[in-house]
């Protein structure tokens, strides 16, 4: 599963991503760009994959980012209001089993 890919995990823990994520979230006043509720996740419009993970226009470019609440992020990935039973998102927006550290 790509979500556990070591390179992707390293990217989401990088100083560049953390700085970009914080600056973008602040620029949108922590408001979900789809529904107006409190945003918790900076989402990549073009999802990251092995082919684009090292392209800073995709990974760090503000044109590819969107502030989302947890519900809108779940809709984006699963087409519904919630994740599957036993699943949730960590603070970086990664899918995790409920009960793991966030």
Q: What is the pLDDT of residues 10-55, one digit of tens each?
A: 999 999 999 999 999 999 999 999 999 999 999 999 988 889 999 9
**Whether the predicted model's global pTM rises above the 0.85 cut:** no
CA neighbor of 5 nearest in space, from 54, 57, 41: 54
DSSP 3-state assignment of 53? coil
Residue labelled with tokens 């609440």: 69
Cα separation, 7 vs 53, whole angstroms: 8
The pair of structure tokens assigned to 22 is 């914080």
Residue 3 DSSP label: G
Domains of the chain by residue range: 2-97
Predicted pLDDT at 51? 92
Q: Across all residues in the chain, what is the average pLDDT?
A: 84
User: What pLDDT band is residue 81 in, cutting at 50, 70 and 90?
Assistant: very low
């Amino acid at each position: 599963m790509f979500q556990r890919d070591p390179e992707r995990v390293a990217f989401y823990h990088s100083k560049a991503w953390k700085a970009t994520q914080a600056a973008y979230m602040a620029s949108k006043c922590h408001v979900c760009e789809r529904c107006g509720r409190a945003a918790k996740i900076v989402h990549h419009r073009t999802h990251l994959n092995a082919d684009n993970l090292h392209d800073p226009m995709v990974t760090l470019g503000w044109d590819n980012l969107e502030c989302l609440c947890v519900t809108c992020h779940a809709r984006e990935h699963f087409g519904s209001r919630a994740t599957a039973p036993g699943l949730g998102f960590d603070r970086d927006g990664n899918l995790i089993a409920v009960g793991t550290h966030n």
